[in-house]
Each structure stands twice: as C-alpha cells, then as structure tokens.
Structure 1
Amino acid sequence: MEDASLDSNEHRLALVTGAGGFIGSHLVDELLARGWRVRAVDRRSPSGDSLAARNLAHAIGSPRFAFEHVDVAGPHLGELLAEVDAVFHLAAATGVRGSWGKNFASYVQDNITATHQLIEQCERAGVPRLVVASSSSVYGGAAGGASSESGAVRPLSPYGVSKLAAEQLALAYAARRDAATQVVALRFFTVYGPRQREDMAIARMLNAVRTGRAMRLYGDGSQRRNFTYVSDVVAALVRAEHTALTGRAVNVAGPATLSVRELLELVAEVTGRSVPFVEVAARSGDPEATEADFELSRTVLAYRPQVWPREGIAAQWEWMHHNGTRGHA
C-alpha cells in the first residue's frame, strides 16, 4: 500500500458498510492506518458474531474506531451520516448459487433496496463521496476478450443482476444536476486473501490441502478468472475516494488471469501438497471466463495491481495456519 500523509486524514470521518466482512474489515484497518476516523456499520456485531469479532480484532480498541450494529436497509442509517466525509458501501448479499429461486428476495433487499436507501440518505446528509462495491458478475463473462466499462453487461445470475441494479441506481443519482454526493462504483474481479469467505475457490483449495478432505471442482477446471488480492482492492477503494471522477463504474482486477486447473497447480506448489478434489457438474450462473480491461482504472485511479497470485496465495495459506479457515463476505 502506498504512503499517505496521516495529518491530512486526521479529522476525516469514513463510514464503512459491511465493515465486519472480508473486504470491509481490511478497508477499516487501512483507513485507521492512514489516520482516518472510522464509523463501521454491519448487522453482524463483533459482540455476537465470531467472524466479525475476528475480522475487526485489529480495529476494536482504537480510539478512532466506532462500531454501529445497524442494517443498511433499516431506518437508522441516516443518523450515522452526520459529518461523514466518505462512505464505502461494501455490505451485500453475496454468492451466485444462493441467488436463484426464492432466495432472490434477500438479494433484492440487501443489494438493491439497501443501496437505494443509502444513496438517498447520503444525499440528504450531503455526504461528499460514496464508493460502491460492484462486481465483475455484471459482465457475465469475457468470451470475446477483456471486459471494459463501456462494453456490454449481461449478468448470468440473479446475483449479477442485483449488483448491476445496485451500481446503476447509485450512478443514476450521481448523474443528476443537483446531486450532492459524488459516486464511483468499483467492479471487483474475484477477490481473495486472508479472511476470504470459506466457500470461495482459493479458500476451498487451501482448506482441502489443510484437512485432506476433497473439495468439489465445479466443471472441468477450464474456467478462467482474473484473481485480485485484497490489498489491491483496498488500494483502489482508497484511491476512488479522492478521485475527481463521478457517475462511473471502474474495473478493479489483479495482474493475472488463471484457469481453475492452473490455480490448483499453483496452490500445490505453494503448499507443497496436491489439492484433493472431486469433479461435479458446473454451476448455473458461473461464467467461463472473466478478464478486466484496465485502461480506465489506470487513467482515473492510477491503479496498478501489486500482488501476483503466488505471493497472494502464500500469504493466505500462512494466515490460515494462524487463524483457521472460516471467513465471510
């Protein structure tokens, strides 16, 4: 992570939704390290949720950190936006498989309704900047090459549809002539690293190595993903807060695209053990490939991913030895 002047952030206040989760907790740690005051919002309280407690362990106790046990879609969020300089919106219902069928109602509530409520409240409070976490799932895949922000969006799952609706809602508000809040949406590509959700591919592979229990390999392993280490995502979030850009979505991805088979081989090299797995049918909604066009993020965020998969997987493997395997979005 690049250096920053702590003095310049000393009196600044950030509100982070989904702060007890994977990316949110890493962002909280980074903002505190940079001198920000942080108001953390999550419906999972560290006092009652072991994952939130573990993820926020570094932040709890800091005099510049305050946790608020609040649902973003609930009625009390607006009370927390007073004097806030920037909101980072990371709270969301996650996962492709769980978004099908009747469960989609919770994705509508958590991803679309909650985002609408948040941007309305930010406008009323006059919050200068909102950074929204979106997803590469809005593209549906990269069969024709790298996905660019100006290209087509064709979500393949209800989850992808909900993330696209959420980002477009926020960007529509930002496009109004009288908009009080500037908005940037970051489309994350397959984020991994310490605290990653245990149902994600790299966490499942490392857990299979650690326990000797075979993981499920969905499909034939030819699927390709642009893997992004969590510290690179956090760097992009911080940069997005002070960019002049508003009303746009921007890709955030890692430096390498690997097939699932190549990832299995890399995990084996890092851990010194083969990953036990059993092949099962591919899941509906999973794209064959994701790959990001970086031009806009390079231009407007000066974004350069720093962590290559071998280094990132090694860091996640080491973390698992000290902290176990459970993680959350």
Structure 2
Amino acid sequence: MAVTKSVIVTGAGSFLGEYVLKALDAAEIDTIALSRQAVAACRRYGLSARVKPVDVDLSAPRLNWSLPLDRPHTIINLAFDRMVANSSAHGAEINERLTRNVLRLCRASKDSKIVNASSMSVYGKPEGGLVSEDTAPLFPSDYGIAKLQAEQLFADAPEVVSAVSIRLPALLGRDAHSENWLVRVAQSLIQNEDLTYSSPDFRFNNAVMASDVAMFFVGLAMRDTLPPDVRVPIGSAPGPCLADILEQMRSDLNSKSRLKILPSKTSSFGIDNSAAKKLGYRPRDVMETIKLFVQDFAQNA
C-alpha cells in the first residue's frame, strides 16, 4: 500500500504561510504547521483538522520539537527573519539558526525534500535585461546574502535529497507587506497623492499573487521526484509597460493622483520564468495580477 504523503510548513504564521496552508488544506493534504504561534494562526485561518499546528520556535539554539516518523515528509520552508536595517547582524544569526533547525528536521524525515521560499534579493542590483536562474548575484543586500547562504546550506546537506529554492519577487494579496512598492503605490493612489516613478516603458513583471505562489509550492511538494538543487526566479507574465499598469491602477482605484515621470537612476530588470515553467509554474498575466491585487486592496482599505 502506498504511503500517504504529508507536508511540514515552517513560518506558518507568515503572510505567505496563510496562503500555503489554505492551499494544502483545500487539496486535502495532511500538514504540520510550525511557527511560534501556529495554533492561534491556524485557528484564525479556519483550517480543518488535517492541518496540525505546533507552536515551536525554529530560531531557538536548541530545537524542542521532534518530527513524527510515521510517513515521508516534504518541507515547505517559509521561515525567515526580515532583517531590518538596524539589526541585520542579529537577523543573519537568527536566519542561520532557522536554516540549521530545518535541516535537523530533514535528518529525522524519511523523505528529505525542501521547497524553499527564497527571494529576488539574492541577485542584488542586476544591470537590466531579464533575470534568470543563470544570472549572477551583484552586490546583494544583507538579506539577499542570508537567503543565498540558506540556499547553499540546503543544497550541500547530505540529508536533503532535493532542495528547490524559488526566488520570489514582491508578493501581493490581502495584508501584503507595507514595504512592498506596489502596496505603497496603491496607498498613494487611494489617498489621491501625486505619484512619481521612472522607466515608464519598462515591461514590469516583478510581482506575483501569494495565492499563485502557494499553488506552485503545493504542486512541487506533491511531486514524487524533484531535482537535487534548483534555484529559480518567478514573476508574472510580462504585459503592458509600467506607465499603462499605473494608469490602470489609478483608474481602478478612482484616483485623482497625478503620475509624474522622473529620470531613472538605475537599470530596470524583468524576470525570466523559463526555468520555473519547467517545474510546473504557470505565470499569471501581470495586468491580471495587478487587477486582483487592486481589488483586494480596495476592499480592505
């Protein structure tokens, strides 16, 4: 008889964690949800009994929870500290502990596969064009360096048979983080504030819906086999230029804001989805992505 798969989700209380857990629950997949306040988060999400929350601090020096060994597990790793500018050294230490504790879970698992939420920040400051899996990092931030280190630790660990790191752009959806550029744009538009931007002809695709990422992660977690070490970026499917996207956002939000174009000081870059498509990723058109985000934003404003 085939062994039923189950999934462990770290960072269960995060913004993306809610979408991933709801997608796993809807797919009727047995799930263990880990975070410091997993029980409260899962209650808030309204999940079924197939999602088992466990309150555990994965950033602690000593992990105080053991993995049940009744079946194979795949880990969807979302746990990571945001590393605010004034505490980057402390954040780097936390993130290394998080990563090593995830590896401790892998040592106890019968199926050591990891689907890891990485970040476009690993690329640093690309010099325009399209960013792909082959693009070399160029002066990444402290956060980007920490993400690269986590990717490498997972790839090098002998107890991990497969580590797939998905390098995420801006995540959109209900309660998207206020540091997100598009969230700040929407806030300005809904308050009728003038908006300045550059690169109006740039075919922007550096954003995805969190719900789409969740479905992609769940699909990866349920695959029987995954490549041993893959690190790929994802974005929306390119569409109109940035000027048209912002004009559409202004119209959808009934905004009276004026849009002003400034000279660009840096090269804009897009995201090549080719490698991710080979793993089953199906990018949504960027204009549809933006429209869905604006609908969510307007409802919650």
Q: Tell me if TM exceeds 0.5.
A: yes
Quote the Cα distance in structure 2 between the aligned partners of 1:152 and 1:191.
Answer: 23
The CA RMSD over aligned residues, in Å, is 3.3
Offset, 1:165: 1.1
Question: Do the aligned residues in 2 keep the contact of 1:15 with 1:84 (CA within 8 Å)?
Answer: no
Evaluate the alpha carbon distance shift between residue 72 and residue 295 of structure 1 in structure 2; reply closer, same or farther with a 3 A threshold.
Answer: same
For 1:132, which of 116, 120, 129 is the aligned residue? 116
For 1:226, which of 206, 218, 227 is the aligned residue? 206
Matched, 1:85 2:85: no
Gap runs ≥5 in structure 2: none
Quote the Cα distance in structure 2 between the aligned partners of 1:180 and 1:120.
Answer: 10
Offset, 1:198: 2.3
Evaluate the alpha carbon distance shift between residue 291 and residue 279 of structure 1 in structure 2; reply closer, same or farther with a 3 A threshold.
Answer: closer
Partner SS state of residue 245, structure 1: coil
Quote the Cα distance in structure 1 between the aligned partners of 2:291 and 2:144.
Answer: 30
Quote the Cα distance in structure 1 between the aligned partners of 2:12 and 2:266.
Answer: 28
Offset, 1:268: 0.7
Offset, 1:15: 1.1
Quote the Cα distance in structure 2 between the aligned partners of 1:215 and 1:119.
Answer: 48
Partner SS state of residue 291, structure 1: strand
Offset, 1:138: 0.9
Matched, 1:70 2:50: no
For 1:308, which of 282, 285, 294 is the aligned residue? 285
Larger CA deviation: 107-116 vs 156-165: 107-116
Evaluate the alpha carbon distance shift between residue 66 and residue 191 of structure 1 in structure 2; reply closer, same or farther with a 3 A threshold.
Answer: same
Matched, 1:320 2:297: yes
Structure 2 residue aligned with 1:198: 178
Quote the Cα distance in structure 2 between the aligned partners of 1:257 and 1:136.
Answer: 20
Structure 2 residue aligned with 1:30: 23
For 1:163, which of 137, 147, 163 is the aligned residue? 147
For 1:17, which of 10, 13, 18 is the aligned residue? 10
Q: In structure 1, give the amino acid aligned to 2:276.
A: S
Q: In structure 2, give the amino acid aligned to 1:33.
A: A
Question: Do the aligned residues in 1 keep the contact of 2:206 with 2:271 (CA within 8 Å)?
Answer: yes
Question: Do the aligned residues in 1 keep the contact of 2:36 with 2:56 (CA within 8 Å)?
Answer: yes
Quote the Cα distance in structure 2 between the aligned partners of 1:93 and 1:73.
Answer: 9
For 1:42, which of 35, 38, 62 is the aligned residue? 35
Q: In structure 2, give the amino acid aligned to 1:165.
A: Q
Quote the Cα distance in structure 1 between the aligned partners of 2:240 and 2:87.
Answer: 31
Quote the Cα distance in structure 1 between the aligned partners of 2:274 and 2:267.
Answer: 23
Partner SS state of residue 298, structure 1: helix
Offset, 1:257: 6.8
**Superimposed CA distance per residue, residues 239-280 of structure 1 (whole angstroms, 9 cap, x where no aligned partner):** 322142122212222112777655432311222224578999
Quote the Cα distance in structure 2 between the aligned partners of 1:184 and 1:58.
Answer: 27
Evaluate the alpha carbon distance shift between residue 270 and residue 80 of structure 1 in structure 2; reply closer, same or farther with a 3 A threshold.
Answer: farther
Evaluate the alpha carbon distance shift between residue 81 and residue 168 of structure 1 in structure 2; reply closer, same or farther with a 3 A threshold.
Answer: farther
Query: TM-score normalized by structure 2?
Result: 0.82
Partner SS state of residue 271, structure 2: coil
Partner SS state of residue 106, structure 2: helix
Question: Do the aligned residues in 2 keep the contact of 1:141 with 1:289 (CA within 8 Å)?
Answer: no
Partner SS state of residue 206, structure 2: strand
Quote the Cα distance in structure 2 between the aligned partners of 1:77 and 1:288.
Answer: 46
Matched, 1:245 2:227: yes
Matched, 1:109 2:88: no
Q: Sequence identity of aligned pairs in percent?
A: 22
Question: Do the aligned residues in 2 keep the contact of 1:143 with 1:289 (CA within 8 Å)?
Answer: yes
Map 1:280-299 onto structure 2 (within 5 A).
288-299=267-278
Map 1:179-198 onto structure 2 (within 5 A).
179-198=159-178
Evaluate the alpha carbon distance shift between residue 169 and residue 265 of structure 1 in structure 2; reply closer, same or farther with a 3 A threshold.
Answer: same
Offset, 1:208: 3.1
Q: In structure 2, give the amino acid aligned to 1:24.
A: G
Structure 2 residue aligned with 1:266: 248
